[in-house]
Amino acid sequence: MVLERKLTTIADFESFLAQSDHGLFELINGEIIEKVPTREHGIIAGNIVTAFNNYLNTREIGIAAVEARHRPPNDPHNDRIPDVSFVADTNKPIEREGAANYMPDIAVEIRSPKDSLKDMSDKAAFYLQHGTRMVWLIYPEKRLVEVLTPDARELLGESETISGGDVLPEFTLPVSAVFRRV
């Protein structure tokens, strides 16, 4: 027997969120997925957003956020929540409800124990295909950071340093600082 699977749309997802009294959910290719971050995940996200904000305190070139919803325009089946995001345009509105209708300039995803390498690769590809300029994939179990742009891929170990490239000029972060206290 073949069961027909109906893709969840943004409208259905918004209705679901309005009825949900707990949880953190994403819409990924029409499927509602609950995010269940761990303490390790939170510490790593905190380390990264702190570094972003320390950098941004002396430069008004954008805004960093943790667990902020973004959806690409004209995509009825995706509403993503990068673990950390950076948006360079300070004139974009700050949403109080719903998702930003644009993708961040930097999206950071921290691998959870249930995420496969394919899941991580798919997340990066999605962001880059929809206008994100740089993606960081964080691998806590190996203490590695993969940095992807539309033109390059770099895998960095704890003795190396992440560069903000042309998205965050002069920004650097030692990979070891990403994993501080975990």
- pLDDT score at 155: 98
Q: Where are the domains of the chain?
A: 37-178
Give the three-class secondary structure for 120: helix
Work out the pLDDT band at 3, boundaries 50, 70, 90: very low
Element (H, E) at 139: strand 134-139
Element (H, E) at 34: strand 31-35
Average pLDDT, the chain: 93
Tell me the backbone φ, ψ of residue 88, rounded to 5 degrees.
-75, -25
Homologous superfamily of 37-178 in CATH? tt1808, chain A (3.90.1570.10)
Kindly report, residue by residue over 94-117, the tens digit of the pLDDT: 999 889 999 999 999 999 988 999
Dist CA 139 CA 33 (whole Å) = 20
The pTM of the full predicted model, rounded to 2 decimals, is 0.92
Q: How crowded is residue 63: how many other Cβ atoms within 10 Å of its Cβ?
A: 18
Kindly report, residue by residue over 107-148, the tens digit of the pLDDT: 999 999 889 999 999 999 999 999 999 999 999 999 999 999
Dist CA 135 CA 122 (whole Å) = 11
